[in-house]
Amino acid sequence: MEQGRYEKDEVDLLEYWRIIVKRKWVLIAFTGALVLFTGIFSFLATPKYESTATLLIEGERSKILSIEDEFGYSRSYEDLRSFNTSLKLLKSKSLAERVARKMNLLNRPEFGWGQTQKKSLLTAAKEAISLKWIFPRKGAKTGESEPMIRSDPYSEIADTVRDAIDVSAVRTTKLVEISYTSSSPVLAANIVNTLAEEFIDFSIGKRYETTQQASDFLSEQVANLREDLSLKENEIQRYGQEKEIFFLTETESTVVNKFADLNGAHTQAQIGRIRREAEYRELKSLDVNSLPQFVNNLLIQTLKTEYTRMKNEHEEKSEIFKSGYPEMVKLKAKLDSMRVELKSEIEKAVDHAGSEYRSSLKEESSLKMLLEEQRADVVRMNSNAILYNSLKIEVENKRKLLNSLVER
């Protein structure tokens, strides 16, 4: 019985071999077709190239309304919100569209858009199967394609560019790496470089706009003072000609002297109030990370130095130890305590600046009331010479205030 089973197995194997020999051309054709299609797809596959550029992202500064002379503060480069905004901007559609328009990607064959766009492997396979390349459609010219209607092709191109852009921040630095992937290495490099250039141009324009907005307050004051000064100069000239006043010394009337003193004090109060208001507004926007390297406040300078040292030590040890390590926990607690103390001192500085601003405002208001009372005394005296001198003093003080604002 075992001998019969052997014979049956041997017969089966021989039968299989005869089937293989009988169908050998089918197997050879299938293997050849598989090798052929694999070669075609490998040949048609498009290689991808990636180009990378590195940018340094810095925060914005404005020195028009400076408070450095009083407190030693300035805007920090480490503004986290500004950094995150820059990351979003690098991936924005508007910036990608600016790059597409500047490089004229609509007409760049290597970008592969529109009629110059390369056909996909699936499209090429379909055309090969349908034999359209052998029997073209009647009335159609070689290379002619269906018309495509786009309201704004650069909007679609911008989406394509965005999909191929990768933006990543380099950890513990202010550096950002931007990469672009394309089938053309030259195009990839050009797009990355153009994107960096457009981002820099946009940042410069944005900083200029921010500076312009910061100067609007002073510009408006200067314009109003210039107009007021022109009217006062015309008034004093007309008044002097009508009353035939040629010269009058300030010592001829105690009323004029008092009015001149009050007017000068009021002008100085105005200048101080404007300066302290600008300092207070800018100081309110600062935090622990917005302090400069050196400040005039000795306590804040000491705390800032110690906080920076502890922060650097924490960052260095965090690369070695985990956050739950006892030494790291202790160092983190000290760092948080130092930060709270430093923040408290900054708040005190803000309160001090606010107190000085309110004091200046109160002083200006008081001097203005006294000035108006003294002005009424001058008017009641009905002296042409005194009124002429008061107008002259007012003009000189307004010119002084104007020069101060223009200089700032």
Strand partners, 167: 178
Contact criterion met (CB below 8 Å) for 110 and 187 = yes
Which pLDDT score is estimated for 388? 65
Q: In what order do the strands lie in the sheet with 165-169?
A: 49-56, 175-182, 165-169
Return all residues near 217 (Cβ < 8 A) that are at least 6 apart. Answer: 65, 278
Instruction: Read off the amino acid at residue 208.
Output: Y
CA 176 to chain CA centroid, nearest Å: 13
Instruction: Give the rounded percent of residues in the chain with a pLDDT score beyond 90.
Output: 3
Q: In whole angstroms, give the CA distance from residue 179 to residue 167.
A: 7
DSSP 88-150: HHHT-HHHHHHHHHHHTGGG-GGG--GGGPPPPHHHHHHHHHHTTTTSPPTTPPTT-------
pLDDT tens digits, one per residue of 313-337: 888 888 888 777 888 888 888 888 8
Domains of the chain are 1-45 (no CATH), 48-214 (3.30.1890), 216-407 (no CATH)
Q: In whole angstroms, give the CA distance from residue 93 to residue 113.
A: 17
pLDDT tens digits, one per residue of 331-382: 888 888 888 887 887 788 778 878 888 888 888 888 888 888 877 766 665 5
Burial class (CB in 10 A: 0-12, 13-18, 19+), 408: middle
Q: Residue 293 pLDDT more than 60? A: no
Mean pLDDT of the residues in the chain = 73
Q: Residue 163 pLDDT more than 70? A: yes
CA 250 to chain CA centroid, nearest Å: 55
Answer with the residue of higher pLDDT: 219 or 200. Answer: 200
DSSP 296: S
Which pLDDT score is estimated for 213? 67
Query: Quick one: which of 196, 102, 85 has its CA closest to 158?
Result: 102
Q: What is the pTM of this model?
A: 0.39
Determine how β-strand 49-56 pairs with β-strand 165-169: unpaired
